[in-house]
Amino acid sequence: MKIQNFKKKVPKPLEPGDTIAVAAPASSFSKDRFDAGVSVLKSFGFKVVIPDEIFMKKGYLAGSDRHRAQILNSLFADNKINGIACARGGFGSMRILHMLDSALIYKNPKIFIGFSDITAILSFLYQKCGMAVLHGPVIVSLADADFVTRDFMYQALTFEKKLDIFFENSISITKGRAYGPVFGGNLTTLCHLLGTSYMPDVSGHILFIEDRAEASYRIDRMLTHMKLAGCFDNLAGVILGTFTDCGKPDEILKITKNIFSNLKIPVLTGVDIGHGVPNITIPFGIDACLDTEKSMISFNVDRKGLPSINVSGNQQ
């Protein structure tokens, strides 16, 4: 069934003692690194629920597509669960998007965090359910996360009204201030979502992108693809995260300057978000102000007067 004019939803922030469940919507994962990452979540003061079924394997995936989708749907339906974290990215999230129950999820919004291949799930939740989400570490990446990564993750999981983030060593390509919600994620995944109903319209947004292990010419090609597809028309601003193992940093900087400098909007690059260390957690879908001269972004939540947005979804 078609569902339209959802009211935008910002899930309730977590508090110590709240319960986070772990889903595995993509690739299978190392048990040792998983256990180490779960220990970090517990050190934050959260209870952690781990469904036995997430340890299943089918090839390079954490079980069949139907299996992984059913677990995620069930975790959203469980009112004892306050938040959901993802075990790992890798590959597979796009395969289950059509099996997720947008109507159920819309009625049961809760904190959801992940990055990399999980960008596909973040896109679904924002586009089909009108739900704000968190772009941040998966469980296995928490295993050896530094203090900054852990600290910002905890802040993002628990902040109620305002969150200010200052980025060290970033570079302002175009100076200024941009206002609007942030959305984006892994560049490769976003490119694969183009042309589907799961890719949000990012007009008026501050677009964030990052990637890993893609040659510089591929980064150039993907950014050009998005530009030709109109994805950069009417953006409020751009944040470029880490491009780990994507070629020489000066090559990536040259490519991004060539793509974005003529848009005449604030653009900040070299931000510690993505596959590098640290990996700072940021909210998607929450009103923000990007100040490229101060190398900072501020997020503000008005829980009383959230605007309506037009999204559509399929109830499975």
Q: Which residue has the tokens 């596959």?
A: 275
- Classify burial at 67, counting beta carbons within 10 Å of its beta carbon; exposed 0-12, middle 13-18, buried 19 or more: middle
Q: Which residue has the tokens 């159920």?
A: 104
Q: State the Cα–Cα distance between residues 316 and 234, nearest whole angstrom.
A: 34
3-state secondary structure of 63: coil
275 is known as an active-site residue = yes
In angstroms, how far is the first alpha carbon of the chain from the final one?
9
- Cite the DSSP H helix spans in the chain: 31-43, 65-77, 102-107, 119-129, 139-142, 147-158, 187-193, 216-228, 249-260
Residue of 116, 123, 141, 295 marked active site: 116
The answer to whether residues 304 and 10 touch, using CB atoms and an 8 Å cutoff, is no
Residue of 27, 102, 135, 275 marked active site: 275
53 is known as an active-site residue = no
168 is known as an active-site residue = no
The answer to whether residues 267 and 238 touch, using CB atoms and an 8 Å cutoff, is yes
Residue of 28, 93, 141, 210 marked active site: 210
The residues carrying an active-site annotation are 116, 210, 275
